[in-house]
Chain A
Amino acid sequence: AQSVTQLDSQVPVFEEAPVELRCNYSSSVSVYLFWYVQYPNQGLQLLLKYLSGSTLVKGINGFEAEFNKSQTSFHLRKPSVHISDTAEYFCAVSSSLTGANNLFFGTGTRLTVIP
């Protein structure tokens, strides 16, 4: 079965500081990995995705993530955060085993950017 672990439920960080949001997954087959962002009282919006190819994936709003197969991780990073990055971030995984369009989500990480 697919599962996604986001170990940090809350991450406070000062404005203009770097941030890393951690995501680990479990799967024995090839996976497809996603990061979504949810701003208050809104639906989810795709930040970036890894399907194949280069393990470093760049997304919107200056975010990037690196797929590490040996560590089964897909951590999200941003070198300098803004107040507007305050939101909840979800890592999600799917695979050919479970259906390529069936996403399994982590429990989310609430990023709070402190002025």
Chain B
Amino acid sequence: NAGVTQTPKFQVLKTGQSMTLQCAQDMNHNSMYWYRQDPGMGLRLIYYSASEGTTDKGEVPNGYNVSRLNKREFSLRLESAAPSQTSVYFCASSEGGRGRINEQFFGPGTRLTVL
């Protein structure tokens, strides 16, 4: 099993450009998450998908959109990139399920720089 995979690993954008970060998991998990990690701020939740067909905003959703394409894939889109979105982006997944608390498994991250 590959676990959680993310593409690309690195990306440089100019202000105003758009791009989509891809995430896939092969653990048959119901829930998936997107975080950003900034120095001195830990990880902050951008969006999550509790189950296929649902998405919800997290702590810092502004400037992002997400799509839960199917049970395996959860993409994050930046429509018009800004320098403030320079960060390391992590995708995670968990088994999910009502009333259950599950470990989240993380991908290796995408390092994004917006000039």
- A37 to B78 CA separation, bound complex (whole angstroms): 28
Q: CB of B53 within 8 A of chain A?
A: no
Interface-facing stretch out of A12-20, A73-81, A104-112 = A104-112
Question: Which residue of A103, A106, A108 contacts B45 across the interface (Cβ within 8 Å)?
Answer: A103
Please determine whether A51 and B101 come into contact, CB atoms closer than 8 angstroms.
yes
> Which residues of A in the span 59-111 have a Cβ within 8 Å of any Cβ on B?
90, 94, 99-108
A42 to B50, CA, bound (A): 24
Cβ-defined contact, B103 with A106, below 8 A: no
Chain B 82-115 per-residue mask, 1 if CB under 8 angstroms from chain A, else 0: 0000000010101010011111101111000000
| Chain A residue total in the interface (Cβ 8 A) | 25
A101 touches B94 (CB 8 A): yes
B43 and A101 contacting across the interface, CB-CB below 8 Å: no
Contact status B42-A101, CB under 8 Å: no
Cβ of B108: which chain A residues have Cβ within 8 Å of it? 41-43
- The answer on a CB contact under 8 Å between B4 and A101 is no
Check B44 for interface membership: any CB of A closer than 8 A. Answer: yes
Name B residues whose Cβ lies closer than 8 Å to a Cβ of A.
Answer: 4, 31, 40-45, 48, 50, 58-59, 90, 92, 94, 96, 99-104, 106-109
- Give 9 nearest A-B pairs by CB, closest first: A43-B106, A105-B42, A105-B43, A44-B106, A107-B42, A100-B101, A46-B103, A32-B101, A43-B108
